[in-house]
Amino acid sequence: MPVSAIYVVPGPESVNDLVKRIADRDRAAFGRLYRRLVRAVFIQVCERVGSPSLAVAVTRAVFVEVWQLAPRSAAGQDDGLAWVIAIAERRAADRFREIHGRTSTLGAEYDEFLGRELTAALGGEPPAMLGTSVPPVTE
């Protein structure tokens, strides 16, 4: 279930432009994309998995995947926001199946690994969303 664009923080660059810059491994662009979309992704994931603490871990996984897939996927993206939201929906559905016993459990170690990967992709800057509450909107 896609989240309303109301949760996307506005910015001077389009999401599409940021995704293209991320494809070129631009960490600053990744940081800006993260800050713009983290709230929307978190809310979408939280609605799907039903737990803020699980939503934090899934949201981290979404942004790690965005960083990892951008070089392969950015060229063919017409809608960067839809691409990120689709990753979030898939990750949330996977975690939902996992918590309901339909797949193997990855566990806290994997969530911690994703947190480290996200921090590295943000250039060593810890993600703003480490708690279990809805992250604040920042511009």
In a domain, 3, yes or no: no
Mean pLDDT to the nearest integer, 88-100? 86
In a domain, 129, yes or no: no
Q: Given this model, what pLDDT does residue 59 score?
A: 95
In a domain, 52, yes or no: yes
In a domain, 139, yes or no: no
Residue 59: CATH number of its domain: 1.10.1740.10
| Residue-wise pLDDT tens digits, 28-79 | 999 999 999 999 999 999 999 988 988 999 999 999 999 999 988 766 667 8
**pTM for the structure as a whole:** 0.69
Question: What domain count does the chain have?
Answer: 1
Q: Which burial class, exposed, middle or buried, applies to 62 when counting CB atoms under 10 A from its CB (0-12, 13-18, 19+)?
A: buried
Name every residue whose Cβ is closer than 8 Å to that of residue 60 and which is 6 or more positions away in sequence.
111, 114, 115, 117, 118, 127
- Say which range, 23-27, 49-53, 81-85, 127-131, has the weakest mean pLDDT: 127-131
Q: Is the pLDDT of residue 135 over 80?
A: no
In a domain, 8, yes or no: no
In a domain, 127, yes or no: no
In a domain, 63, yes or no: yes
**Structural domain of residue 98, as residue ranges?**
13-121
In a domain, 62, yes or no: yes
Q: Given this model, what pLDDT does residue 137 score?
A: 40
